[in-house]
Amino acid sequence: MNHQLSDLSPEGLRTFVGEQLERSRARTVQLTDAVDTDDLVKQHSKLMSPLVWDYAHIGNQEELWLVRDVGGREPLRQDIDELYDAFQHPRADRPSLPLLGPVETRAYVTEVRDKVLDVLDHVKFDPEKLGADRELVHNAFAFGMITQHEQQHDETMLATHQLREGAPVLDAPPPPAGRPLPSPEVFVPGGVFEMGTSIEPWALDNERPAHGVHVKPFVIDTVPVTNGDYLRFVLGGGYQDPQWWSEAGWAHVQKASLVAPRFWSQVDGEWWRLRFGHREQLPLDEPVMHVCFYEAEAYAKWAGKRLPSEEEWEFAARFDPSSGRTRRFPWGDESPGPQHANLGQRHLRPAPVGAYPAGASPLGVEQLIGDLWEWTSSDFRPYPGFRAWPYDEYSLVFFGPDYKVLRGGSFGTDEVVARGTFRNWDYPIRRQIFAGFRCARDARPEEVHAEELHA
426 in a labelled binding site: yes
- Quick one: pLDDT at residue 455? 60
* Residues 6+ positions from 40 with CB-CB distance below 8 Å: 32, 50, 51, 52, 55, 102
pLDDT digits (tens, 9 = 90+) for 407-431: 999 999 999 999 999 999 999 999 9
93 in a labelled binding site: yes
Is 258 in a helix, a strand, or coil?
coil
Instruction: Yes or no: say if 139 and 408 are a contact pair by the CB < 8 Å rule.
Output: no
pLDDT bin (cut points 50, 70, 90) of residue 5 is: confident
Residue 420 burial class via C-beta count within 10 angstroms: exposed 0-12, middle 13-18, buried 19 and up: buried
113 in a labelled binding site: no
In CATH, what class is 185-226+300-454? alpha beta
DSSP-derived letter for residue 287 is B
54 in a labelled binding site: no
Q: What is the 3-state secondary structure (H, E, C) of 381-430?
A: CCCCCCCCCCCCCCCHHHCEEEEEEEECCCCCCCCCCCCCCCCEEECCCC
pLDDT bin (cut points 50, 70, 90) of residue 51 is: very high
Percentage above 70 pLDDT, the chain = 97
316 in a labelled binding site: no
Query: How much is the average pLDDT of 369-393?
Result: 97
- Widest pairwise Cα distance in the chain: 70
Query: In Å, how far are 6, 201, 417 from 209, measured between CA atoms?
Result: 18, 12, 17
Does position 2 have pLDDT exceeding 70, yes or no? no
pLDDT digits (tens, 9 = 90+) for 267-289: 999 999 999 999 999 999 999 99
Q: What is the 3-state secondary structure (H, E, C) of 212-256?
A: EEEECCEEEECCCCEHHHHHHHHHCCHHHCHHHCCHHHHHHHHHH
- Quick one: pLDDT at residue 130? 60
- Quick one: pLDDT at residue 129? 58
Is 342 in a helix, a strand, or coil?
strand
pLDDT digits (tens, 9 = 90+) for 210-242: 999 999 999 999 999 999 999 999 999 999 999
Domain span(s) for CATH 3.90.1580.10 in the chain: 185-226+300-454
- Quick one: pLDDT at residue 134? 82
pLDDT bin (cut points 50, 70, 90) of residue 4 is: confident
Query: How much is the average pLDDT of 48-64?
Result: 98
153 in a labelled binding site: yes
Residue-wise DSSP of 121-167: HH----GGG--TT-GGGGGGHHHHHHHHHHHHHHHHHHHHHHH--SS
Domain span(s) for CATH 1.20.120.450 in the chain: 5-163
CA-based torsion, 186, 191, 195, 198: positive or negative: negative
Instruction: Yes or no: say if 432 and 163 are a contact pair by the CB < 8 Å rule.
Output: yes
Does position 332 have pLDDT exceeding 90, yes or no? yes
pLDDT bin (cut points 50, 70, 90) of residue 23 is: very high
- Quick one: pLDDT at residue 133? 58
Does position 1 have pLDDT exceeding 70, yes or no? no
- Quick one: pLDDT at residue 451? 73
- Quick one: pLDDT at residue 256? 98
- Quick one: pLDDT at residue 128? 62
Query: How much is the average pLDDT of 161-171?
Result: 96
pLDDT bin (cut points 50, 70, 90) of residue 135 is: confident
57 in a labelled binding site: yes
Is 99 in a helix, a strand, or coil?
coil
Instruction: Yes or no: say if 196 and 315 are a contact pair by the CB < 8 Å rule.
Output: no
Percentage above 90 pLDDT, the chain = 93
Nearest to 223 by CA among 179, 287, 174: 287
Q: Which fold has domain 5-163?
A: Four Helix Bundle (Hemerythrin (Met), subunit A) (1.20.120)
- Quick one: pLDDT at residue 47? 95
pLDDT digits (tens, 9 = 90+) for 170-184: 999 999 999 999 999
Query: How much is the average pLDDT of 192-197?
Result: 97
What is the model's pTM? Answer: 0.96
Beta partners for residue 195, in sequence order: 211
- Quick one: pLDDT at residue 281? 98
CB atoms < 10 A from the CB of 258, how many? 19
Query: In Å, how far are 221, 243, 291, 298, 368 from 249, measured between CA atoms?
Result: 23, 11, 12, 8, 25
pLDDT bin (cut points 50, 70, 90) of residue 127 is: low
